[in-house]
Amino acid sequence: MSSILPPNRPETPAAPLPRRSFLAASLLGATATLFAAKASSQAQAAPGAGAPQAAPERFVEISQLLTGHSINGALGERAWQALVQREKNFPQRFSQLQSAIDKAGLHDMQQWKTSSIASDAELKATALAIVSAWYLGVVGQVKDRSEDGPAFITYESALMWRPTWDVTVIPTYARGGPGYWKAKPATVATD
């Protein structure tokens, strides 16, 4: 039998791959696969997949008119992207709503009921989608685990918390800091 190795070199079996190296390589490969799959599914799921469309100049202004509250402008872009992603033909629908609001001369929601917009089902549905996004802090419904859930906008700044802001601690947030409940109240009267 002849060997391919040089005559002075003894034949040694390959050293086994250490367990830690094997686990690290496996984890790295699995992570890369998951990121690639997620990026691919997001690109396919986005309507008109491409560069995200920027929020119109008056989106926050119209949102404030519809909700009757001041809106965090920094969240405007996130809300717009969520609505575009989850609501069918939202950019066109918003443009129609904005034109109708301008034509009707609406400056506050007290005028809504008497305007022609209130009787138009499509315009009303678009306005409701915007109001719902700001009040709930999400756009879309919770679905089966295999489907994409709602698009997140905000939790702490959702308008649903405002009516009881002064007396209700937002769930999962401890306004008094960690362990605030341990200190006994001064009196029942001041509690």
Report the alpha-carbon angle 11-13-18, nearest 5.
Answer: 150
Match 């609505």 to its residue by tokens.
83
Helix segments in the chain, DSSP class H: 19-45, 59-67, 76-86, 90-104, 121-136
- pLDDT computed for residue 166 by the predictor: 79
Locate 145 and state its tokens: 């685990």
Which pLDDT score, from 0 to 100, does residue 177 have? 72
Q: Is the pLDDT of residue 69 over 80?
A: yes
Statement: the pTM of the whole predicted model exceeds 0.95: no
Distances (CA, A) of 190 to 162, 184, 185, 186, 187: 23, 12, 8, 7, 6
For the chain, the domains span 59-164
